[in-house]
Amino acid sequence: MFKYQIKSSDILPEVKIVTPDTFEDYRGEMWTYWEQSYDLLPNGYDFKISKFTRSRKNVLRGLHGDNFTWKHITCVSGELYLVVVDYRPESINYLKWESFLLNDRNHKSILVPENFLNGHLCLSDECVFHYTQSYPKKYVDVEEQTTVRYDDERIKIHWPINKPILSERDL
């Protein structure tokens, strides 16, 4: 039976950090990414979609979010710098952000609630970002998501890069 630690973010308490224990032997390593017993999602929410994004070094994706989707994020290959922003105007933490270093060695994952933005920067030559999404009624695709510039002056995120590679959407 695998064990894990779940703690709240220091800056954004609604954001959860899941750190699993791993089993390691001569064959390699094994750990649990998610168990329903973690009981972190609100009633009516279940993970419904699992996606992967492969990026090359210095690619920055985000900041993206919506009003309905919870995301459980990890890095399965390489290393990335994940930023989560509270985008709830009524929140005392509105526009506050926290960063997390995720990689294929620390196995950490971040649970991002609805109404929060997230973006990630690939730090290694290549990285694979994995996320599962939960929503109560329908999938919110790109056309309905909120996109905020990675260098928005209201947020003042300290990215470890000056000139990231961006998509048209993120420009």
Handedness of CA 148, 46, 75, 85 (dihedral sign): positive
- CA nearest neighbour of 157 among 19, 74, 62, 75: 62
Q: Please indicate, yes or no, if residue 166 is contained in any of the structural domains.
A: no
Pairing of strands 126-134, 70-77: antiparallel
Length of the chain, in residues? 171
Please say whether the beta carbons of 122 and 78 come within 8 A. yes
Q: Give the model confidence (pLDDT) of 100-128 as tens digits.
A: 999 999 999 999 999 999 999 999 999 99
Q: Which CATH number fits the domain that encloses residue 87?
A: 2.60.120.10
Q: Is residue 28 part of a domain?
A: no
Catalytic site residue 64?
A: yes
pLDDT of amino acid 3: 76
Q: What letter represents residue 18's amino acid? A: V
pTM over 0.85: yes
Is 160 inside any structural domain? no
The catalytically annotated residue of 64, 72, 107, 120 is 64
3-state secondary structure (DSSP) of residue 167: coil
Q: Is residue 75 part of a domain?
A: yes
The string of pLDDT tens digits covering residues 16-43 is 999 988 888 999 888 888 777 777 888 8
Host domain of residue 75: 4-23+33-147
147-170 tens-digit pLDDT: 999 999 999 999 999 999 999 999
Please count the structural domains in the chain. 1
Say which of 81, 87, 107, 131 is annotated catalytic. 131
What CA–CA distances, in Å, run from 125 to 102, 122, 155, 164, 171? 14, 8, 27, 14, 22
136: pLDDT strictly greater than 80 = no
